[in-house]
Amino acid sequence: MALQALFSPFLVSTTLLFPLHSSKIPVTLRNSKSTRCVANVITVDDHTITRRSANYLQSVWDYDFVQSLTSDYNEEKYVRQVDKLKDDVKCLINGVMDPLAKLELIDVIQRLGLKYLFETEIKKALDIIYKDSNIAWLSDDLFAIALRFRLLRQHGYNVPQGVFERFRDETGNFKRNLFEDVEGLLNLYEASFFGLEGEDIIDQAKAFTTTHLKGIIRDIPPSMSRKVVHALDMPLHWRLTRVEARWFIDAYEQEQNMNPPLLLLAKLEYNIVQAIHQKEVSKLAR
């Protein structure tokens, strides 16, 4: 399953290998048949020993299949296109924009698997947001506060759990009016996995959001429901970057406010890295 995801390109050009969830899989995969292993009878010192056997699927990763892995994304034209898009995204990160919009941009870049391309720019942007004493833009916005908390903690900044105190009532429980803020609950859920030992508010937030997100899956729009199901299956903090990027590119492409150049960069970068992996696997098999 992981290997299928690894060798699954996107619809970036007219030439495809074989995309994930596609019925157009290689002949090697279509024609794979189960191999029946017969019981082996061995005689040792006049004693007959019958070994247990089972049916095993024939491996699709034979020599011919591995050597057949090719990709057009090794070509120099794609590298030049990526370099141009990288410059555009750097200008976007360094540009002037609302702090919340900047955090959302950084979050998207990371989930698209592009963080390693913009480490310096992301660090500079987060430094400015962390040191900014004017946090009126946060107000009582659960989405904004949880996103800021998660990204800053992810990058090693000291953010106290007390920022979520405003969302609890007199009894110490999270307020019921938060149920309507699905985006906020989802971000609070993801943020709760950056808690430290002994942080009771964060532990409470994790239990609170998990319970209520599970209860509203069937009552929210399909696009949001997919995000919630994906998060509840495994939080973002625990996921492998490349696997998450493969899922998030599809999800981000469906969003109304998606940034086309950023999406194209993510697809090209994924395919170029995949082409490198394919070449390495082919060489290792020789």
The DSSP symbol for 21 reads T
pLDDT in tens, 6-49: 445 554 433 333 343 333 334 444 444 444 445 555 555 556 66
The residues facing 168 across adjacent strands are: 174
- Residue 216 identity: I
User: At what angle are helices 119-131 and 142-154 packed, to 10 degrees?
Assistant: 120
Output 80 or 74, whichever has higher pLDDT: 80
pLDDT in tens, 102-127: 999 999 999 999 999 999 999 999 99
Which range among 1-15, 90-104, 157-171 shows the weakest confidence by mean pLDDT?
1-15
What ranges do the domains of the chain cover? 75-273
pLDDT at 231 over 90: yes
Output 146 or 25, whichever has higher pLDDT: 146
| Distance in Å from the first CA to the final CA of the chain | 24
Q: Which tokens in the block code for residue 115?
A: 């963080």
Instruction: Look at residue 252 and give its three-state secondary structure.
Output: helix
Mean pLDDT to the nearest integer, 234-263: 95
- Residue 247 identity: W
Asked if 137 contacts 183 with a C-beta cutoff of 8 angstroms, the reply is: no
Asked if 176 contacts 215 with a C-beta cutoff of 8 angstroms, the reply is: no
Which range among 47-51, 129-133, 160-164, 241-245 shows the weakest confidence by mean pLDDT?
47-51
Instruction: Name the strand (E) or helix (H) holding 154.
Output: helix 142-154
pLDDT at 176 over 50: yes
CATH T-level topology, domain 75-273: Glycosyltransferase (1.50.10)
> Side-chain half-sphere of 158: how many Cα atoms within 13 Å?
0
